[in-house]
Structure 1
Amino acid sequence: MQKAIISFVISLVLGFGLGYLVFDVVMGGSDEAAKVAQADNKETPAATEESTESKEDSAATTSASDNILNQKGCLGCHAVESLDLKGGATGPDLSKAFENVEGKHGKPIEEFLKEPTSAVMSSVIGGNPLTDEERTRVVDMLKQASEK
């Protein structure tokens, strides 16, 4: 009887753990992280010492309504520290993705966003593919992040 109880408890813990992993992390249930990132972006103004033109560029980049990375849920797993975009810690920081993706995945970032070579990103983008216009906006934003 004691062996059955131990087996049940272990199965229960594993079941809840896998359920959380699949439904909350993998399936995009991390909307809370994206909402937190949006709230952080609304509360955090652009750097106070920059020129007016730089402030406008930064504000446009980090604006929650215009930010393609927020709109597509990228910040649920990724952050872009060079643009002061807070996000999830599950995926890598995307500040240098524009420069590093080709070396790491063997194709330019534009192609990677069409057909990712990583298993995780294949399932994410496969379930929510980017349009050509969205892909261009993401690439432009990541290029801007790599230049800072």
Structure 2
Amino acid sequence: MKQTVIIFIISALIGLAGGYTYFQFTGKSQAADAKQKTAAVQKETNDSKETVSASSKEGDILQQKGCLSCHSVSKLNLQGGTTGPDLSNAYKEVEGKHGKPIEEFLKAPTSAVMSGVIKSHPLTNEERAAIIKVLKTASEK
């Protein structure tokens, strides 16, 4: 029994030391990895076809406001996070899903997650209008 406890403690220490060493030498965190991936996706988008480049310009406001951290807009070839739903049809679907037009939803969301996001990072009228314009364009494709 004593030998089993000693082996467990040594194994735990080796595991903790290995994890600590890995993060010390790589100097990476999940946040840094996410930023690098977002930058790589944006560069890849800008370097590809002209239509994708045009879509990237359309999606600049979504990138600036952090929408693409959780959402993608596949109809505009904007790759983003997978936490939230694809926003390609949000312009048409938000009212049916959330009971209010998209402009009102972006002012005061009915979903708990988006409510927290908007409270922490409120949108100006101009930003809201730009986001709605991009989502309308996506829904028309």
TM-score by structure 1 length?
Answer: 0.68
> Is the CA contact (8 Å cut-off) linking 1:40 and 1:86 kept in structure 2?
no
Label 1:138 to 1:30 Cα distance change in 2 as closer, same or farther (>3 A).
same
> Is the CA contact (8 Å cut-off) linking 1:62 and 1:85 kept in structure 2?
yes
Does residue 40 of the first structure (1) align with residue 13 of the second (2)? Answer: no
Partner Cα distance (1:131, 1:31) in 2 = 24
| Structure whose alpha-carbon radius of gyration is higher | 2
Does residue 123 of the first structure (1) align with residue 116 of the second (2)? Answer: yes
- 1:9-20 equivalences under 5 Å are none
* Count of paired positions: 121
Q: Unaligned stretches of 5+ in structure 1?
A: 10-23, 48-57
> Is the CA contact (8 Å cut-off) linking 1:34 and 1:70 kept in structure 2?
no
Task: Show structure 1 runs of 4+ deviating over 4 A.
Answer: none
Question: Greater shift after overlay, 138-147 or 123-132?
Answer: 123-132
Partner Cα distance (2:47, 2:116) in 1 = 32
Higher helix residue share: 2
TM-score by structure 2 length?
Answer: 0.71
Label 1:139 to 1:109 Cα distance change in 2 as closer, same or farther (>3 A).
same
Q: Unaligned stretches of 5+ in structure 2?
A: 13-29
Partner Cα distance (1:46, 1:79) in 2 = 19
Q: Which residue does 1:63 correspond to in 2?
A: 57
- 1:48-59 equivalences under 5 Å are 59=53
Partner Cα distance (2:53, 2:42) in 1 = 13
